[in-house]
Chains A and B, each alone.
Chain A
Amino acid sequence: MDKFDVVVVGGGHAGVEAAYAVYRSGLSCALVTFEKSKIGQMSCNPAIGGLGKSHIVREIDAMGGIMPIATDMSGIQYRTLNTRKGDAVQALRVQCDRDLYKKAIQKILNSTSINIFEEEVEDLIVEQKSVKGVLTKNKKIYGKKTILTTGTFLNGLMYIGSEVSSGGRVGDDSAIPLSKKLYDLKLPMGRLKTGTPARVKMSTLDLSVMEEQPGETPTPFMSLAGEVKQHQDQLSCFITRTNKTTHQIISDNTHLSAMYSGNISGIGPRYCPSIEDKVFKFGHKESHQIFIEPEGIGVDLVYPNGISTSLPKKVQEDFIHTIKGMEQCEITEFGYAVEYDFVDPRTNKKTLETKYFNDFYLAGQINGTTGYEEAAAQGLVAGLNAAQAIQKKPDFILQREEAYIGVLIDDLTTHGITEPYRMFTSRAEHRLLLSQNNAEQRLLSKAFKLGIIPEERNTTFVNKEKQYAEFVKTRLDKTKILSFINKEQQTVSLDEKRSISSILARPDVDENNLIELNKEEEIFFKRASTEIKYKGYIEKQTREINKNKKQNNKKIPPSINYKKISGLSNEVVEKLTKSQPETIGSASQIEGVTPAAINLILISIKKQELEKLNA
């Protein structure tokens, strides 16, 4: 019999991060997954980061996670998005070598004490509303906590035109018995779908007619932990476009698409539309952009990002061959749609432990999200909280104003989802506080207190913060100048000497010409400049946060019966009953819950408290 502190089911991005967090918390962990060799597999496009997502990855990085390191071990093209906008909304996107990424993850895991089992989990050991471990064909694996991270595999069905096959990912099985078990446990389940494009041989493309998009130089790092010193060789991506002929073929055949034939009941993400969706819904657009992303170094394969589809193979072939530079290309694998089970994430507390079964956590795509980063973040949260609970330590919950991870978990657990959930910066109402570049300032000392990052890294961080404070004091506050160069490259003279910091606050200044800096100082300078520009907004946000903090943190007793609160509309009662928000703050986030309704809830809690006192 095998016994562990934590059993993690699934070796995807959520599972890996969860197991690694448990390991770093000093506990024993079992990782049970279909195939060892596919641990850390990127099911879809081979890229990490992007808007809202790199923010998450940097947060994982500040807490010592695995994803950012594996990204740098396999990154083949780095690009910062939104460079013309401010710091809070800039994002790093890294194209990875699919194979190297997976190998990096496996290498890191192999250096830990995590026990990997190559088995299909078919059942859960449930005793009195508590999950005690998992059952595979041949094994019982016990865990004080069990974390399910089965991704798109639960009763996964893949569609190409009218062909349907079982599987969570091409070349993989589907987890059918486990899905059945979750239905048996009466967890609130639903179906979602997503899709992926065909893969094409790079050597059969005419890249010379496409626009080349090289990576950024100097090549940045996703992880700021300093563990990866050397990048892989860097490659370019290419851009091509669909055209009228492409669209004609697609619209002539839309009815043959699995998504349009009515076979799929699951809801797909609106921000990840298939090419047939794009052509159908935005008929006026004559052309759509396609990114040709290399799958890896020395790999004769590309991922044509932008033409995800579930059209029949023949149609896929036809329309792809109309695209500039792809006329002669050879398709190695066809695009498909996958439909899978998910569990309504409102089932979970903010620790990602389910409300209905103790010691049972859900993380990753099973909670209705999509994307590697979103999955990894949940894995980290579930893993840490399982470890904290075992050690009888407090829950680890990040607030919405502290991290994108806080936004993600709160959104999922209080609002639930209506389509596969992906992070966007606009989901974070405190966006200006949450830059990908200040994740360490926000989270590193928290992680250090949890004991999940090495002492050395914390020391480096603390020293750097000291240096920064010193830099601001001596170089920016004390250095005074009499003139500066404005954005029009004219010299502006001042009537008296002013500090660099006060000049940085001016909208017309061209920062690049302000002072001579060495490399290290440049990062500090940029940071200071952002802090100065955001200052007013951030002060306002902070005031707002503090104002609402007390009320927002007020706990709603689980015994609350919304039906009994007179004055709440049926719609509001239904929504609140379904999501069972843990705090007033979460309740007020729910759509349709008015300030008046919040008052009523507060009054009713108050009344309950008074009644208890009097009893």
Chain B
Amino acid sequence: MSVVFALATPPAKSAICIFRVTGRGCLSKIPELAGSPLEKNKKFYLRTIKNKSGDIVDRVGIISFKGPDSYTGEDSFEVYAHGGLGVMAMLVDVFKSLGFDEAPPGEFTKRAFLNNKISLAEAEAVVDLIDSHDQGGVVLSSNTLSGDFTEKVLGFSDTINNLRVRVEGEIDFSDEGESFFDSSLPNELSLLVENFKLFVGGCLNKKNHSAKNKVMFVGPVNSGKSSVFNRLLGFERALVSEKPGTTRDLVESEIFYNEASFSISDTAGLRETDDVVESKGMQFALEQLNSVDLVVGVFDSDEGSILDRFAELSNEKKYLKVYNKTDLGHVVREGVFDCMVSAKTGEGFDGLKKLISNAFKSDISGDYMYLVRDRHIGLFQSSINHLENALLKLSEDAGLELIAEDLKLARSDLNEIMGVKMSDSLLGDIFSSFCIGK
């Protein structure tokens, strides 16, 4: 495969940036790149990189990994350079002049997979790891990566196999005087279905999870939503004025807190309005409510009827009630709000941030064990459907060959998840478990 390179660190100004290069023959290009070869594998060397016209680009660190002992399984090396955008741009030019191609996304992992360094499920988890949005996601991904997930799936395959051995045995060797098949089979099958469902229930679908944590601010007009929003962002993103109904469109932005990112949006304040533009904005905000994960109500009064109306709006969603304008010193009832802040002074904002990020943490606590992709969920579901169908056919006393077919399909769905063809030693298993043959 061709030699490709990629920037392994974010394309932003930082102290250091890392380029990774992989592909057959890439190590032989090091002298051309950095003046001289690296004597030892997996050792860090300092070198100067110059461009075609002989100008110094940067003084860098280089380390080589000879295949197959590298991430991709091919010859690879890494370049540690200074993190200026200018240096990065020049390094890209240098790599290209050596005939290296820019790697498409996921290329390194793909190669690692093709070279049998990781299984398909594991390869996908690495991709998840890279674009995971928060710490929690990372933990889940590495669970998948560790092979724990693989082991679980293999366990289910084994159980299906055991059932298949008996069903296929009964089909192919029915005149052998062996009893392959007894009343325990339906029970074992339904136990398998139950366990399997539990396991799949514990798999958090990657799509749901890595979608940005969406937070939406709602509240009555002029309660200070835009001010709170701006304060959270740390700069003036939304317009603020004392005129009620200032915000008319949805205003979106992103904040980072505790290594997590949230997409937050400010909305038009809700009131009975006859201003067409504003009512449109409100309508849009209401529609958006469905796709958000957390609704934050911002209020500047504790009037029960207003609070009730918003509680109703957010019905099924996670909902935080925030009282704004504490600096004004109004008295509010105890325990009505989750959090008291002042957008003006910044009071209470640490607490608000914590509340927001905690609202998401609980999502990925204990119950969810594995982070999987849509593809996995689809295949698991299909596998379960086949098992349930087999169970149904058993109860209907349908032909055993149909039950065998469903078991086979259930098993092959799992094969596909693992991305490998698990050796099908079905006949061998039949021969070693039962005395067959005349």
Contact = CB atoms under 8 A, between A and B. Distances in A.
B258 interface: no
Nearest to A593: B421
Residue among A45, A52, A424 with the highest chain B CB neighbour number at 10 A: A424
Contacts of B393: 507
A278 B177 CA distance: 13
A596 B423 CA distance: 15
A273 interface: yes
Contacts of A291: 438
Nearest to A435: B401
Nearest to A86: B399
B405 A537 contact: yes
B402 A594 contact: no
Residue among B171, B424, B435 with the highest chain A CB neighbour number at 10 A: B171
A85 B419 contact: no
Given A282-B435, A424-B427, A569 B402 contact: no
Contacts of A425: 171-172, 401
B408 A85 contact: no
A558 interface: no
B431 A596 contact: no
B288 interface: no
B437 interface: yes
A250 B404 CA distance: 37
A489 interface: no
Interface in A282-307: 282, 285, 288-289, 291, 305-306
Interface string B1-35: 10000000000000000000000100000000000
Nearest to A281: B435
Interface string A346-357: 000000000000
Given A86-B402, A272-B437, A600 B172 contact: no
A596 B419 contact: yes
Given A85-B171, A85-B400, A45 B438 contact: yes
Contacts of A278: 435, 437
Given A81-B174, A591-B421, A596-B120, A285 B397 contact: no
Interface string A5-27: 00000000000000000000000
Nearest to B422: A591
Contact of A429 (B120, B399, B408): B408
A596 B116 contact: yes
B327 interface: no
B176 interface: yes
Given A81-B174, A282-B435, A427-B427, A594 B399 contact: no
B116 A567 contact: yes
A86 B435 contact: no
Contact of B177 (A269, A289, A588): A289
A507 to B, nearest CB: 4
Interface string B397-430: 1111110110011000000000111011011100
Residue among B24, B115, B409, B435 with the highest chain A CB neighbour number at 10 A: B435
B157 to A, nearest CB: 15
A567 B401 contact: no
A595 B420 contact: yes
Contacts of B400: 85-86, 89
B116 A273 contact: no
B423 A592 contact: yes
Contacts of B424: 591
A286 to B, nearest CB: 11
A85 B399 contact: yes
A51 interface: yes
Interface string B262-278: 00000000000000000
B74 interface: yes
Contacts of A599: 114
B402 A533 contact: yes
A262 B114 CA distance: 44
Given A273-B437, A291-B438, A533 B427 contact: no
A459 B259 CA distance: 77
Interface string B65-99: 00000000110000000000000000000000000
B369 to A, nearest CB: 26
Residue among B172, B173, B431 with the highest chain A CB neighbour number at 10 A: B172
A291 B426 CA distance: 27
Contact of A595 (B398, B409, B421): B421
Contacts of A596: 113-114, 116, 120, 419-420
A88 interface: yes
Nearest to B400: A85
A245 interface: no
Contacts of A50: 175
A427 to B, nearest CB: 7
Given A288-B435, A593-B421, A594-B421, A431 B401 contact: yes
A269 B74 CA distance: 43
Nearest to B428: A270
Interface string A564-597: 0011010000000000000000001001111110
Contact of A426 (B172, B177, B399, B438): B172
Contacts of B420: 594-596
Given A81-B175, A89-B171, A487 B397 contact: yes
Contacts of A52: 172
A426 B426 contact: yes
A82 interface: yes
Nearest to A429: B408
A37 B74 CA distance: 65
A192 interface: no
Interface string A543-574: 00000000000000000000000110100000
B168 interface: yes
Nearest to A284: B435
Interface string B100-129: 000000000001011110001000000000
B435 to A, nearest CB: 4
Contacts of B427: 271, 424, 426-427
B436 interface: yes
B312 interface: no
Contacts of B396: 507-508
A432 interface: yes
A487 B24 CA distance: 67
Contacts of A508: 396
A45 B438 CA distance: 10
Interface in A418-453: 424-427, 429, 431-432
B172 A591 contact: no
Contacts of B399: 85-89, 533
Contacts of A427: 427
Interface string A66-95: 000000000000000110011111000100
A82 B171 contact: yes
A70 B216 CA distance: 82
A478 B340 CA distance: 75
A236 to B, nearest CB: 15
Contacts of B432: 270
26 contacts: A45-B438, A52-B172, A85-B174, A85-B401, A86-B398, A88-B399, A88-B401, A271-B427, A271-B437, A273-B435, A278-B435, A282-B435, A424-B172, A426-B426, A429-B408, A432-B402, A507-B396, A540-B409, A567-B115, A594-B116, A594-B419, A594-B420, A595-B419, A596-B116, A596-B420, A600-B114
Q: Which 7 pairs show the lowest CB-CB distances between chains A and B?
A: A86-B399, A289-B177, A507-B396, A282-B435, A270-B431, A305-B438, A306-B438
Interface of A: 45, 50-52, 81-82, 85-89, 93, 269-273, 278, 281-282, 285, 288-289, 291, 305-306, 308, 424-427, 429, 431-432, 487, 507-508, 533-534, 537, 540, 566-567, 569, 588, 591-596, 599-600
Given A508-B396, A588-B421, 14 more contacts: A82-B171, A87-B399, A271-B427, A273-B435, A306-B438, A424-B427, A507-B398, A533-B398, A537-B405, A592-B421, A593-B421, A596-B113, A596-B114, A596-B419
